[in-house]
Structure 1
Amino acid sequence: MNKNKLIILAGPSGVGKGTVENILFADEKLKNILKLSCSATTRKARQNETDGIHYYFISEEDFLKKIENNEFIEWNKHFNNYYGTLYSEIKKINKEGYLPLLEIETVGALNIMKYYNDKNKKNAVISIFLAPPSLDELKTRIKNRGTENQDEIDIRIRKAEEEIAEMDKFIHKIVNDTPEKAAQKIKEIILKEIEEKDE
């Protein structure tokens, strides 16, 4: 089984990435294979989020120092906060014998794909874009979670339109009609990909 790969799961805010991930990590076959990569961010923790599990919550000053020291495989600023994937996190997961799953924003995902392409390791990345059934459905999902005001919802919808426009740059496109169906499709993709040898 080839675990020398990493999985990118991208998609607009509110599409249901977290719910799909919960199903994947509860799966008997996948829970011994996958490990969620913990990104660093300067945003404040939401209710029920734990430092070191959901994100590494760090100050903007610390984040900028890490950029200066080239500690990120990718980083980005969106919704007025910095987000990034640390090289050390990927190495740690690989060392533990797991396949890293990165839930990241689309620009960051494209940067990682470019990084591996530049190193002629295109096959190391399993890129998956999780799309909503429609923009109207996405608006409803964001409103229903009740964590953003109307201005923030409008910003997220505009951002979602930009991200959906980049969808074809990903190897796999999954529409999240229901989290269970989407998770099953992603599970099939992961198991098929890790059975394949590197070229």
Structure 2
Amino acid sequence: MELEYSSALTGAGYMLYEVKQISILKKEGLLDKEIRQKVLEENLFQYEKMSSIKRAFPYILKRVNVLDESLLQLITQESLEIAKIINLYGIMKSDRLFFEFMNEVIQEKLQRNEYLLEKKDVNSYFTIKAEQSDFIASWSEATIQKLKQVYKKILLETGMLKSLRTGELNRLIIDEQIKDQLRGIGDIQYIRAMGE
């Protein structure tokens, strides 16, 4: 089943801490509604506003729900570097527009050994997508701007972007455990999209 395009990342960016909290509860065997209840009652995300938790929660849960048992194990037990890459995979796997950005912009640049993400690259990506999809074309300029910021911030927090100012790209070092797992479940395209 192909994912629909979504602007959900405007309200649920990188959020590694939140993803790890939900992953831990998932590993403990809690059901989605039990996880939601626990997150809200105990303010596990440590947010000031309950409305922020309620808005972000469904997207974070969706991201965690695309992770299999092995990836849940890795994201909760292994290093921060491994968790970052699994979170990036989760974002791509649960957000079609972001996956296509990684696949069509970042992967292509890294394949050509171009290590600069320029404003025009991001702008033209969104322009092309708006031409291909009436749904994306209907989004406000503010939504598109916010998504551009969030995409860059995700790359920055993952370590693929050295700085927002320079736009300099880095290759990720992807742990063999992650590569083996993603290959094993037929998700090699996500490894490629990360520039491998």
Higher relative contact order (Cα pairs below 8 Å, separated by 6+ residues) = 1
Larger proportion of helix:
2
Q: Structure 2 length normalisation: TM-score?
A: 0.33
Larger proportion of strand:
1
